[in-house]
Amino acid sequence: MTRHYLDTFTIFRGTIIAEGWCENFNPVLYYDGRRVKISTCEVLRPDLVPTFGEKAARWGFRLSAAMPEYGIAHEKLMLRLNRRTAITAPADAFRPADAQFAAMRDTFRDEVARRGGSLVEIGSRARSGVTYRDWFPAGIRYVGIDITAGDNVDIVADAHHLTDVLRERFDFAFSMAVFEHLLMPWKVALELNAVLNDGALGLIVSHGAWPLHEEPWDFWRYSKDAWRGIFNRHTGFEVVAAEYEHAAAIVPRFASGGPLRGIDGSGTFLMSGCLIRKVGPALVRWDGRAGDVYDLGYSHG
């Protein structure tokens, strides 16, 4: 049986780049059924020797293909590694499952399903028709909050001032790709604390790295360790878990030397999230109004 693996499969500005290893490597790349010209080189892989023997040290490869257009449809790609092995949509076949992030997410969803009760979502609007309401049982009390009216929004409000509009307390909180757009996320943590029951769980997901978007309301990026600066005993929380999802690389448009040399070989992650629990009332206050220091009149569709 052929032995092979893709370590990376990247599409960058119309160029396909793949790295991995394969026994009897003899590659052919197709796009939408048409053969694509490729360049390859051998990459020594001494890490394979203990498992597969001395010959495996020369199984490593790097492959690239320059395409005439951007916007490559990944599902139209097929990579034949040798006569026996062909892979359609190669990145999906080998992409890491981000198991720890998935476990954190599933723990939260399972707890919502098991315990029931009420859940508040910060940033619930169905942008491009996408919502996360179906992540949770239909029988729970769900309240969707967003700065802008729209589908899946129950209350229009600024997350920095939840207590202006919410009079009830919730058992769960959820937010997906919103905290990067919050001018003062520590203030939101304090407000969230005030509208959650003791022991309430929250799943907060934002970006570790991501292109600038929805400016001028794009303020923050979070390492998984940064969450403890927002959700801690001062704000009345504990971080139960914090994980990354979607490994990535940052590539300068002009790859000069100095500190930019080799930066593409360093890793980052597109998504960062945390599972939090309310442990008690906040020990600090932040009474300033976020809108007093910045225009928060979000206007993106």
Listed in sequence order, the DSSP H helices in 84-123 are: 90-94, 99-115
DSSP 40-91: EEEE--GGGHHHH-GGGGG-EEEEEEE-SSSS--GGGEEEE-SSS-EEESHH
Structural domains of the chain ordered from first start: 4-94 (2.60.40), 99-292 (3.40.50.150)
Q: Is the pTM of this model over 0.85?
A: yes
Q: Average pLDDT of the chain?
A: 95
pLDDT digits (tens, 9 = 90+) for 210-234: 999 999 999 999 999 999 999 999 9
Give the model's pLDDT for residue 267: 92
Query: What is the Cα Rg of the chain in Å?
Result: 23
